[in-house]
Amino acid sequence: MQTDGLMIYDMDTEQIGRNVFDDALYQPFPELIALARKVAAANEGTGVYRFHQKGAKAPLAKAAYWKTVALHGVKWRLVITCAQDSIE
């Protein structure tokens, strides 16, 4: 993710090129938008949220872990996500 919320890569190719902050796909998920703002603001961290997973009928609880990578003066957030049994 770029720090402006643009998804530059996702295993779900439908999300590539969308902006987490303002795309209609993400609007029903305020936890995800809040986490994306946290990701944009901090060089590294962790968080939890709910969102659709390709092939799933209902949103799933997910954990996110991120670090910052930089190339030619541009910073991106490398975010790894995994499904969780529950979010507390």
Written as six digits, the tokens of 29 are 């998920």
State pLDDT tens for residues 64-84. Answer: 999 999 999 989 999 999 988
Q: What is the dihedral of CA 50, 65, 81, 52, to 10 degrees?
A: 20
Stretch 41-59: mean pLDDT? 88
Domains in the chain: boundaries: 13-83
Residue 49 vs residue 54, higher pLDDT:
49
Instruction: Specify burial of residue 20 (Cβ count, 10 A radius: 0-12, 13-18, 19+).
Output: buried
Residue 8, pLDDT above cutoff 80 = yes
Residue 86, pLDDT above cutoff 90 = no
pTM: 0.86
Residue 34 vs residue 52, higher pLDDT:
34
